Structure 1
């Protein structure tokens, strides 16, 4: 790699440790628990909960006593004690403060042991990547961003990401990495079924990512589409607020345009992992050529890449330049971005009519800008029947750059501590 032409460069003023207390305000209130419909219920008569299912129940509570677990599960005291000893030995639960005494010996509270455990997240975009360490509770502790140049070889990008991750983790001394979440601008169906044929990820593979990252940190790895991760992060905030959101649609509007749909806390991926890939919705049969090879795609009209192409005569070279000129109310830039917002709103109008979400969140470097939010709202309102959107809120992202980070961490935590994963881990420990 030539020192004169680096493919990745650390972004200035982007590395910022949040400290053990986490971010102030909205980020500290996200939910990392599974949706209510997945919470553990009492075991059928005569059937004891597995250790994994018992942990699932403990995680769904803010604190529970042994007596309460006995009552809720119907397990025998001996079996419950055995399960709790397994979970304690694996550092998955701990007994902490006592409950207020009501006479006699006070009962200890059993809690999920989240102390000093972090998830390493990597949100890889078209032009930059964000690397962060996130606590099990969903609080970003430290983060940095690096610029990624065009078609840099995947091996070199991964090497730069590992270096950035090591620097981030140095700000969390004593914390243990328990999982890795990797967000990619490509369709993801499920583990082992990742589609890499989209132009931003050509030359990449799931095997390459897993071998490289798990060679450095031998912990579970979860891959997810970047826009979908953003949606999951925003949904975690809504879940914490108990706002009754059943369907959330999030749009990531930056260099590209993508969307994620979360229904009852679970991401909608589709049969090929392409659910939410609205950037390749055809607006017209002609028009500018898209990177996919067709003409008239939404991304060819309205993506950040398209906006920079339209403004190249102004020597606008980055989306940060676009945002700066928007804030200065530059007439030409404002008109260009407004048209992009209207195009996105037009496509969303049809999507909203199909899924009728409770909330639409606009994120990404351009998506959360007030001008874009206003443009999208106005176009959706003008192109959609009122009864289809009368209970739909269209709003900017509240988590900002942390949305994808928190979404990936939430997926990792859900995968790591699922009943099946916990039972498998405990089985290996006893063999």
Structure 2
């Protein structure tokens, strides 16, 4: 079943909507809780919490779990989110693949399909294959209502217009308004985001439950290079939504030309595409590179990876000096280089960033068992739903 609704409201309704959103977000951080806990955590009065919970129960988004023991020994009725009642389609478009997955409102994945795509087949054909995957995913969903879709793409992405500005190594996508066409095709709200920004949001979402402040940067170093910047839980986008396009930041004004029209762009030196080119393995798989690195059989491979890591670290120096983050996460394909990537980037940062800044900066590798940007595609849609819960979750309204 597919459901879509529009938002309407007055000032009073806006306040009620913000309160609903607050309560759902608080419950997301707790597996089971009581109404009294929500009253204390939210700052709302008891009657308001009671009314909101009763409303959410009637919508099917909250269920009672039975009697639980409180902190002071008082017993109460436990409540929790019934997240699987509402489903999200998450879509990740990459230069060589498309992945579509089904999630619930807590970002838990239920199923996934992944296909390779090729520039030679054209963007229109690849887009049609994406739509086929989405149809299959919707048909296969047997529990809950599909209420929205989230799409993440390489950039530059003009988010407000729903279109890609440039996808290096795969022309044609800039002529397709992905957001508009998917909305028309499936009659669902569609939210589109730059892949690195979505990855950053996903890391923040599933990070420490008490983390509300700070600056975190997620670096997607794959076939291209981009960064997602989260400030106090909000994605920093800039005036056109292009903030974090570090892959097209020039580090050598006399360097090789880039498809964007610039010279010496960072991704020409430290993307996995650049790494394969350095090794004269443009048509080889990255798995063979990582295998050589792991087995330490080829010093040329190790040096090429170290060089890519050095350039990435050098590019991050400017970002660190600009945003003063407390945490940087290295993700996407290049992160599979593991300790060599981490240690090289860290050494460059320590050498070129003020000690007082670098000493307080945490540098991490993203988990290699989760496609953070795919998860982020769902989180982008979920965040929009949680901002307007009555527009998406009140199926009786």
Higher mean C-alpha deviation, range 264-273 or range 174-183: 174-183
Contact 1:55/1:87, CA 8 A, preserved across alignment: no
| Counterpart Cα distance in 1 of 2:252 and 2:132 | 44
Higher mean C-alpha deviation, range 48-57 or range 290-299: 48-57
| Counterpart Cα distance in 1 of 2:336 and 2:348 | 16
CA RMSD of aligned residues (A): 3.3
Tell me: CA distance 1:165–1:325, structure 2 relative to 1, closer, same or farther (3 Å). farther
What does residue 183 of structure 1 align with?
152
What does residue 362 of structure 1 align with?
330
How many residue pairs were aligned?
376
Query: Normalized against structure 2, the TM-score is what?
Result: 0.82
* Of 197, 218, 235, the match for 1:250: 218
Cα displacement (A) at 1:236: 2.1
* Of 213, 218, 233, the match for 2:202: 233
| Counterpart Cα distance in 2 of 1:83 and 1:283 | 53
Tell me: CA distance 1:243–1:422, structure 2 relative to 1, closer, same or farther (3 Å). closer
* Of 315, 318, 331, the match for 2:285: 318
Tell me: CA distance 1:59–1:385, structure 2 relative to 1, closer, same or farther (3 Å). closer
Contact 1:187/1:272, CA 8 A, preserved across alignment: no
What does residue 147 of structure 1 align with?
116
Does residue 168 of structure 2 align to residue 197 of structure 1? no
Contact 2:165/2:174, CA 8 A, preserved across alignment: no
Tell me: CA distance 1:167–1:342, structure 2 relative to 1, closer, same or farther (3 Å). same
Cα displacement (A) at 1:98: 2.7
* Of 247, 251, 254, the match for 1:279: 247
> Which digits, 9 at most, give the CA deviation of each residue in 1:159-179, with x for residues without a partner?
212333455567653243222
Gaps of at least 5 residues in structure 2 are: 1-11
What does residue 137 of structure 1 align with?
106
Gaps of at least 5 residues in structure 1 are: 1-45
What does residue 236 of structure 2 align with?
268
> Which digits, 9 at most, give the CA deviation of each residue in 1:24-78, with x for residues without a partner?
xxxxxxxxxxxxxxxxxxxxxx999525523532441335555666785337x5x
Query: Normalized against structure 1, the TM-score is what?
Result: 0.76
| Counterpart Cα distance in 1 of 2:320 and 2:81 | 39
What does residue 74 of structure 1 align with?
45
> Which digits, 9 at most, give the CA deviation of each residue in 1:93-133, with x for residues without a partner?
3333234499xx97433433313432211111111222222
| Counterpart Cα distance in 2 of 1:173 and 1:198 | 37
Cα displacement (A) at 1:251: 0.9
